[in-house]
Chains A and B, each alone.
Chain A
Amino acid sequence: MDIRVLKPADIPHVQSTNITNLPENYFMKYYLYHALSWPQLSYVAVDVSRPKKTPYDPPKIVGYVLAKMEEEPVNGIQHGHITSLSVMRTHRRLGLAEKLMRQSQRAMVEMFGAQYVSLHVRMSNIAALRLYRDTLGFEVEKVESKYYADGEDAYSMKMNLNPLREQLEADEDYADEGEEVGDVGKKEKKKEDGEQGKTKRKVKLGRGLGVGELVERNESSKA
Chain B
Amino acid sequence: MAPPPSPQMLGSKERSLFTQVVKNYENKQYKKGLKAADQILRRSPNHGDTIAMKALIINCQGNAEEAFALAKVALKLSMKSHVCWHVYGLLYRSAKDFEEAIKAYKSALRLEPESQQIQKDLALLQIQTRDYQGYVQSRRAILQQRTSWRQNWTALAIAQHLAGDLTNAERTLSTFEETLKGVPPKTDIEHAEAVLYKNVIIAEMGETERALEHLDAAAKNNPDRTSVMELRANHLLTLGRKEEAAKVYRMLLARNPEYRDYFEGLQSALGIEKSDVKALKNLYGDYAKQNPRGDAARRIPLDFLEGGDFREAADQYLRHMLHKGIPSTFANIKALYPDTSKRDAILELVEGYAAGEAPPVANGSAEKQPNSDKDLFKISARYFLAQHYNYHLSRDLNKAMKYIDEAIESVPESVDYHMAKARILKHYGDPKKAAEMMEEARELDLRDRYINTKAAKYHLRNNDNEAAIQIMSKFTRNEAHGGPLGDLHDMQCVWYITEDGESYLRQGKLGLALKRFVSISSIFEIWQEDQFDFHSFSLRKGPIRAYVEMVRWEDHLREHPFFSRAAISAAKIYVKLYDQPHLAHGSLINGMNGDHMDSAERKKAEKKARKEKEKQEKAEAEKKDKKAALDLNGEPKKEDKDPKGELLLQTSEPLLEAMKFITLLLEFSGRNIQAQQVGFEVFIRRKKFLLALRTLIASHALSPTDPITHEQMFRFQQSLSKLSEPLSPKAMQVINAEFNTLLPASTDLTKHNDEFLQRNHNSASHVQGYLKVRQLIDPSSKEKNQQDIIRTLALDGSSLEDAVRGLDMLEEWKAESRYKDDYLVAAHERWPEASAFKQKVD
Which residues does A use to contact B, with CB under 8 Å?
1-5, 7-9, 12, 15-16, 19-23, 25-29, 32, 35-40, 47-51, 53-58, 62, 88-95, 99, 103, 106-107, 110-113, 124, 149, 173, 177, 179, 181, 183-188, 191, 193, 207-209, 211-216, 218-220, 222-223
Contact with A along B460-491 (1 / 0, CB 8 A): 00000000000000010100000000000011
Distance in Å from the Cβ of B442 to the closest Cβ of chain A? 12
- Take A20-B450, A27-B490 as given contacts and tell me if A99 and B258 are in contact as well, using a CB distance cutoff of 8 Å: yes
Interface assignment of B707: CB less than 8 Å from any CB of chain A = no
Could you show 12 A-B contacts with beta carbons less than 8 Å apart?
A: A1-B332, A4-B261, A12-B560, A27-B490, A29-B530, A36-B538, A56-B560, A93-B328, A94-B328, A177-B221, A187-B187, A191-B542
Q: Which of B188, B260, B541 contacts A36 (CB 8 A)?
A: B541
Interface assignment of B632: CB less than 8 Å from any CB of chain A = yes
Distance in Å from the Cβ of A103 to the closest Cβ of chain B? 6
Q: Are A32 and B491 in contact (CB under 8 A)?
A: no
Interface assignment of B186: CB less than 8 Å from any CB of chain A = yes
Q: Are B553 and A106 in contact (CB under 8 A)?
A: no
List residues of chain A with CB within 8 A of the CB of B255. Answer: 106
Q: What 4 A-B pairs come out closest when comparing CB atoms? A: A49-B335, A39-B546, A89-B450, A3-B258
List residues of chain B with CB within 8 A of the CB of A93. Answer: 324-328
A16-B493, A36-B543 known; 12 new pairs, CB 8 Å cut-off, are: A25-B491, A28-B530, A38-B543, A49-B299, A54-B561, A58-B561, A89-B448, A89-B450, A93-B327, A124-B447, A185-B189, A207-B632
Q: Are B451 and A89 in contact (CB under 8 A)?
A: yes
Distance in Å from the Cβ of B663 to the closest Cβ of chain A? 17
Q: Are B530 and A35 in contact (CB under 8 A)?
A: no
Q: What is the bound-complex CA distance between A91 and B450, given in angstroms? A: 11
- Take A2-B260, A177-B221, A215-B536 as given contacts and tell me if A220 and B530 are in contact as well, using a CB distance cutoff of 8 Å: no
Contact with A along B224-238 (1 / 0, CB 8 A): 111100000000000
Query: Residue among A57, A62, A215 with the most chain B CB within 10 A?
Result: A215
- CB-based nearest B residue for A180: B186
Q: Are B546 and A53 in contact (CB under 8 A)?
A: no
Which residues does B use to contact A, with CB under 8 Å?
26-27, 117, 185-190, 220-221, 223-227, 251, 255-256, 258-261, 293, 295-296, 299, 324-328, 331-335, 338, 415-416, 447-451, 453, 475, 477, 490-495, 526-527, 530-531, 533-534, 536-538, 540-543, 545-547, 549-550, 553-554, 559-562, 564, 632-633, 669, 671-672
- Take A93-B327, A208-B633 as given contacts and tell me if A40 and B224 are in contact as well, using a CB distance cutoff of 8 Å: yes
List residues of chain B with CB within 8 A of the CB of A16. Answer: 493-495
Q: Are B553 and A47 in contact (CB under 8 A)?
A: no
Q: Which of A12, A21, A26, A51 contacts B562 (CB 8 A)?
A: A12
Q: Are B492 and A49 in contact (CB under 8 A)?
A: no
- CB-based nearest A residue for B293: A95
Q: What is the bound-complex CA distance between A47 and B334, given in angstroms? A: 12
Q: Which of B261, B334, B533 contacts A212 (CB 8 A)?
A: B533
- Take A28-B492, A93-B327 as given contacts and tell me if A191 and B549 are in contact as well, using a CB distance cutoff of 8 Å: no
Q: What is the bound-complex CA distance between A3 and B534, given in angstroms? A: 26
- Take A26-B491, A90-B331 as given contacts and tell me if A219 and B672 are in contact as well, using a CB distance cutoff of 8 Å: no
- CB-based nearest B residue for A45: B258
List residues of chain A with CB within 8 A of the CB of B27. Answer: 220
List residues of chain A with CB within 8 A of the CB of B327. Answer: 89-93
Distance in Å from the Cβ of A59 to the closest Cβ of chain B? 11
Q: Which of B186, B541, B542 contacts A179 (CB 8 A)?
A: B186
- Take A56-B559, A56-B564, A94-B328 as given contacts and tell me if A21 and B449 are in contact as well, using a CB distance cutoff of 8 Å: yes
Distance in Å from the Cβ of A30 to the closest Cβ of chain B? 10
Distance in Å from the Cβ of B254 to the closest Cβ of chain A? 9
Distance in Å from the Cβ of A67 to the closest Cβ of chain B? 14
Q: Are B187 and A183 in contact (CB under 8 A)?
A: yes
Q: Which of B526, B545, B669 contacts A28 (CB 8 A)?
A: B526
Distance in Å from the Cβ of A148 to the closest Cβ of chain B? 11
- CB-based nearest A residue for B457: A20
Q: What is the bound-complex CA distance between A222 and B151, given in angstroms? A: 14
